[in-house]
Every structure is written in structure tokens, then in C-alpha cells.
């Protein structure tokens, strides 16, 4: 095998080890639906194998279906999440056998194909990128399910690097065009294409994601009880759900505790807040006299290199993420404190844009100019419109293979089980814009 093929094979092995680790539990834990908005873990497990069968074996490899009778059950569109527990799902052992049978043939396809062929699924191993990223995305979903389950154990944890305070709280991004999206990253999704110029007025964006301490100040100031900070839909949601704090937070007098993977612990003040909905993020920003960044503002601050006139793959450059760059790949089971990754700063000086928490943006999930669905409409196209908000940057639970400066994620504005937080932005005053940030 070539180096490129070895690399793909290693990524396939790594993601499968991860999926098996999250499902190394008794059958009852795997078959149960822990929350109506999530699948039983065993559904995710068989689904990633079925997706691999559909795309690598059938579409790219021309191999006849192994188990066509299970396709509908593992098709996310034919079977909504709430119906999944009532299906005759493969039991955990059957699911593990099925996905490992698929995987064996996937490695044969990898061996046989030409990565330089003009075939759009074969070229640069696109179809392998598709299934590797897909499985990592489901692994992150499984972690959210495990968090919702309240089950202790199973989820590995580690020590976060120390945070760092001091220095500016926001960074200035001068007015001007930048190139958004990509035409060249071989494993980019259809929704990240095509690259296009976006001209933005000058703005400020937070250097770090909003911390738990900052968010607690919003709560203490009555932020959840003041409709001035909320959009009408957000206020309606807040009143109907009676939400008064991030998901998994518990109040004890003046102190806050949180449930994290089955353990109760004090809320760490310097950690980026997570498990807030878009409505809460948006309300906080208004309370703080700011707003959420647009998706374009987020991407420019994260990846644009003004000196080189090009976008970087990661804020620090094109180098693969190392442990000093960003909190990715579930090295630890939580966001690291703000300031923990100075080496991961972007050209404009924004930190922790990749990793730690997904960041809500102010934008709806819409297609870029010249969007073309590839390889199927149900990955992105059917979600475009004014229903989903864009999230950027990945979380501690996101694998490096499934995030980059151009990567777009999306969810309903009410969702809180995902590992999402946010940072704020504001439009620069004319004086600031003219003075390079100095008014």
C-alpha cells in the first residue's frame, strides 16, 4: 500500500476503536433509548457500518449488498430517532459482527482502487474521508447520548492543560474581503464549497469562548428573567421549558454544580460554557451588549491569513493538530480552560476556535454560491433554510479528521445536548474601523 492508503487505513482503524470503546457496555445500556432525541447506542453502531457498506462497498466498490433488508432501519430519513427503539435492531453482537464484516471488504476496496483516478468517490480517497468523518460525527453523538444517560464509567477522561488569563479579551479584524469555504481540501463536504470572496466590515470578536464564570454572571444578573435579552422565539422557548441554566447545571445556594458523565462536580469557572442552546447564547450576547458572530466573521477570524492572502486549514497553519494546538479528539472529556492553547491562535489572535466547544454563530445553515450536492442531497442540501443555526470549530469530542476552519455543523436552535458554547462579536465603530482597532 502507498503512504496515502496506509494513512486512510490507520484512520479507519482509529475511528472504529473509538466507536467500539463507546459501546463497550452491557446490552441493556446499548439497546435502551436514553433520550427521545437520541438513538439507542447500538443503532449508531450498526448505522455507521451500514453507511460504510452503502458508500464504500456498493457505490465506490461496486459490491453487491450484504444485508439489503436492514437498509431502511438504518436510514436516518426513513426512521426518525424516536422510532428507533421499537425496531428489530441488530443486537450488539450482531451489530459488531456486521460492521466488522463490512470493514474487511472496505480494506479490500481500499487496496484495489486508484486514488488518482478521476472517479469522484475514489479520487484522493474521498469516499473514505466521507465514512471516516461520518463515523467520528456519530461517535460524538454517542458521547452526547452517554452524557444524557448519566451513566458513570465508559468515558475516558484526562487532565486539561492550565488556562491563562491576562491580555486582550477581544481581537480586531479589519474590514476587507477574505476567501470563505474551499475548492481544494479533498475531504471537505459539499456544504464547504465553493470558495467565494466575502467582504466584511471591521469587527471585534472574543479572543476566547465565553466561560462558565461569565455565563454565571448573566444568570446572577437575572438574564433568564428579562425578555429584553431574548428573541421572541427564544423567550417563548425559555418560558415553555422553564430553563434557568445550561443543561446539566444544578444550583446549590450561590454555587453551581454540574453532572458530567455520571459524576457531580463544581462548575469550573474558567472553562468555556457548554450545553447552551442557540437561544441562550444569543440572549447572553445581547445582555453583554454584543452579538453572536456571523458564520463569515467566525471563519475569517479563525482561518484567514491576511499576510498570505489565503485561508489556513487550521488557525495555526496547515500542520495537523498536536496536543499543544487544540483540545480535539477526546483527549480529555471536557473543554480546557480559556487561554490553554496559545500555540493555537489564529493570525488575528483568536484562540480556541478549533476544539473545546462547538460555537454557535448568528447564521442560518444556507448554501454557498454555486453549491452542488455531492455525493447525496441528504448530507447537507435538505437541511438548508431558516431552521438550523450554524456551529463552527468542533469540540473536545470532535476528531481532527472531522474539523477544519471551513467545516460547517448545524443544529436546531433549541438543542443543548451537543458540546456547544459560543463567543461574542461586535461591529467596530467607524473610528475603530479607521484606526485599526484604536478609536
The binding site consists of: 47, 81-84, 134, 138, 411, 415
Min. distance of Cβ 161 from ligand AVJ in angstroms?
27
Min. distance of Cβ 189 from ligand AVJ in angstroms?
8
Binding mask 129-168 for ligand AVJ (x = CB under 6 A): -----x--xx--x---------------------------
Please give the C-alpha separations between residue 310 and each of 181, 195, 297, in angstroms, as whole numbers: 11, 11, 15
Binding mask 397-416 for ligand AVJ (x = CB under 6 A): ------------xx------
Min. distance of Cβ 410 from ligand AVJ in angstroms?
6
Rounded-to-integer distance, Cα 151 and Cα 137, Å: 21
392 binds ligand AVJ (CB under 6 A): no
Which residues sit in the known binding site for gamma-L-glutamyl-L-cysteine? 81-84, 411, 415
Nearer to ligand AVJ (CB atom), residue 237 or residue 410:
410
| Dihedral (CA of 124, 377, 65, 49) sign | positive
Count of residues in contact with ligand AVJ, rule CB under 6 A = 7
Question: What grid cell was written down for 344?
Answer: 493555537
Which residues sit in the known binding site for Fe cation? 47, 134, 138
Min. distance of Cβ 210 from ligand AVJ in angstroms?
22
CA–chain centroid gap for 406, Å, is 12
Nearer to ligand AVJ (CB atom), residue 134 or residue 286:
134
- Which residue number is nearest to ligand AVJ in terms of Cβ? 137
Min. distance of Cβ 322 from ligand AVJ in angstroms?
25
Nearer to ligand AVJ (CB atom), residue 113 or residue 121:
121
Where does this chain bind ligand AVJ (CB under 6 A)?
134, 137-138, 141, 379, 409-410
Amino acid at each position: 500500500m502507498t503512504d496515502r492508503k496506509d494513512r486512510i487505513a490507520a484512520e479507519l482503524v482509529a475511528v472504529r476503536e473509538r466507536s467500539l470503546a463507546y459501546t463497550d457496555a452491557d446490552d441493556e445500556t446499548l439497546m435502551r433509548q436514553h433520550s427521545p432525541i437520541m438513538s439507542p447506542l447500538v443503532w449508531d453502531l450498526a448505522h455507521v457500518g451500514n453507511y460504510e457498506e452503502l458508500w464504500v462497498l456498493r457505490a465506490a466498490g461496486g459490491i453487491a449488498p450484504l444485508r439489503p433488508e436492514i437498509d431502511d432501519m438504518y436510514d436516518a430519513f426513513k426512521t426518525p430517532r424516536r422510532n428507533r427503539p421499537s425496531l428489530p435492531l441488530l443486537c450488539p453482537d450482531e451489530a459488531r459482527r456486521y460492521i466488522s464484516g463490512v470493514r474487511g471488504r472496505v480494506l479490500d476496496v481500499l487496496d484495489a482502487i486508484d486514488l488518482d483516478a478521476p472517479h469522484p468517490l475514489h479520487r484522493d480517497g474521498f469516499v473514505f474521508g466521507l465514512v471516516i468523518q461520518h463515523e467520528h460525527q456519530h461517535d460524538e453523538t454517542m458521547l452526547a447520548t452517554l452524557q444524557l444517560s448519566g451513566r458513570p464509567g465508559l468515558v475516558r477522561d484526562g487532565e486539561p492543560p492550565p488556562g491563562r488569563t491576562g491580555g486582550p479579551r477581544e481581537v480586531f479584524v479589519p474590514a476587507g474581503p477574505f476567501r470563505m469555504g474551499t475548492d481544494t481540501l479533498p475531504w471537505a463536504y459539499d456544504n464547504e464549497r465553493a470558495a467565494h470572496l466575502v467582504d466584511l466590515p471591521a469587527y471585534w470578536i472574543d479572543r476566547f469562548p465565553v466561560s462558565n464564570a461569565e455565563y454565571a454572571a448573566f444568570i446572577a444578573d437575572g438574564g433568564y428573567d428579562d425578555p429584553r435579552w431574548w428573541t421572541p422565539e427564544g423567550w417563548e422557548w425559555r418560558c415553555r421549558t422553564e430553563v434557568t441554566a445550561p443543561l446539566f447545571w444544578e444550583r446549590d445556594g450561590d454555587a453551581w454544580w454540574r453532572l458530567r458523565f455520571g459524576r457531580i462536580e463544581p462548575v469550573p469557572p474558567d472553562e468555556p460554557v457548554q450545553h447552551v442552546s442557540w437561544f441562550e447564547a444569543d440572549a447572553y450576547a445581547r445582555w453583554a451588549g454584543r452579538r453572536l458572530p456571523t458564520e463569515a466573521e467566525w471563519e475569517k477570524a479563525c482561518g484567514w491569513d491576511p499576510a498570505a492572502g489565503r485561508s489556513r486549514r487550521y488557525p495555526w497553519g496547515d500542520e495537523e493538530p498536536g496536543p499543544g494546538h487544540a483540545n480535539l479528539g477526546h483527549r480529555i472529556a471536557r473543554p480546557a480552560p480559556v487561554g490553554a492553547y496559545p500555540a493555537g491562535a489564529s493570525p488575528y489572535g483568536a484562540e480556541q476556535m478549533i476544539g473545546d466547544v462547538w460555537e454557535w454563530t448568528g447564521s442560518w445553515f444556507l448554501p454557498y454560491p454555486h453549491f452542488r450536492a455531492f455525493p447525496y442531497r441528504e448530507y447537507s442540501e435538505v437541511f438548508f433554510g431558516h431552521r438550523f443555526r450554524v456551529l463552527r470549530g468542533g469540540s473536545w469530542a470532535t476528531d481532527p479528521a472531522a474539523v477544519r476552519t471551513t467545516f460547517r455543523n448545524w443544529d436546531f436552535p433549541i438543542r443543548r445536548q451537543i458540546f456547544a458554547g459560543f463567543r461574542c462579536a461586535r461591529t467596530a465603530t467607524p473610528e475603530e474601523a479607521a484606526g485599526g482597532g484604536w478609536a
